[in-house]
Amino acid sequence: MTNELRVIVAMTALIAALSAGTACSTSTNELPAACSTSALSTMRSALTRSACGTTSTNAVTQDEARGLGFPVDDDLAQLAQPIDVPFHRGDFACGAPAATSGRLRITVVVGTIKHYVNEPTTSAMDPSVCPDWLGYDATIDLQTDDGTLSGSTPVTLIAGPDSSGAHAIAFTVPAPPANFSGSLGIRADRLRQPAGTVGITTVIRGPVVSGQVFTQVAYCDGEAPDWDQGDGLFWPPDNPVNTCGWLEIPAPWGQMMTLDEFNAL
């Protein structure tokens, strides 16, 4: 399994939590509690072994992070620069290059730096396979040049060795649709209680940045079907390891509308 696909597995778990329909609020468009899973837990499989657990989290300064051996200066220098990538919107063939729909700019503003101390969850594992990582509490801003998506949301970026041992920075965040505007499609039945999510995943390995956005709603009325999959985009369009797993959806229930229309409900 590639590292990118590990991220998709984490997002699939988020979809399962949403479709369970157990964390819905009666407030339309409010983010379901199941979507508040931290970036730490959802990104763990992308950056280390799943059998590793975090035992403590400590705020650190940049100097302290450097003293712990982390490439914090390189990370912060990279995150200080806007990330510009071409993206593709909509359906695509698994593992095949897709047409470019536009360009996306991701801007990151880092706040607190945290040291995550990890160790195996079983004594049978070698502690060396559970390296510590840094967490960057930040705000990300996403802007596309064609009006597909615009907005910002708080995230925690996790930085450390991935499963291959290479340094990576990654995050997964389920954000409320109200944080964003644009023409990105979200599917919902207006007559039910749709609680929406904009799921965002990004992995940074040196100069290579890959990621995706998808929309989804969970219905909070207890009736079946209890979720609907919407539109999505991914970057870069020519990434051969992109997966279309988030498009494997049940028969659609609600109508497709834009984020702007959904937020106006």
Amino acid in position 15: I
Tokens of residue 156, six digits: 């925690």
Residue type, 207: P
Q: Report which residue type is found at 34.
A: A
CA distances from 136 to 9, 174, 182 (A): 22, 17, 27
Does pTM top 0.85 for this prediction?
no
- Report the alpha-carbon distance of residue 159 to residue 204 in Å, rounded: 9
Cβ within 8 Å of residue 74, ≥6 positions away = none
Handedness of CA 256, 259, 261, 265 (dihedral sign): positive
CA atoms within 13 A on the CB side of 186: 33
β-bridge pairing 180-181 and 150-161: antiparallel
pLDDT tens, the chain, 265 aa long: 344 433 333 443 343 343 333 336 434 333 333 333 334 444 444 555 567 788 999 999 999 999 999 999 999 999 999 999 999 987 665 667 788 999 999 999 999 999 999 888 887 778 877 889 999 999 999 999 999 999 999 999 999 988 778 899 999 999 999 999 999 999 999 899 899 999 999 999 989 898 889 899 999 888 888 888 888 888 988 765 555 555 555 667 889 999 999 999 9
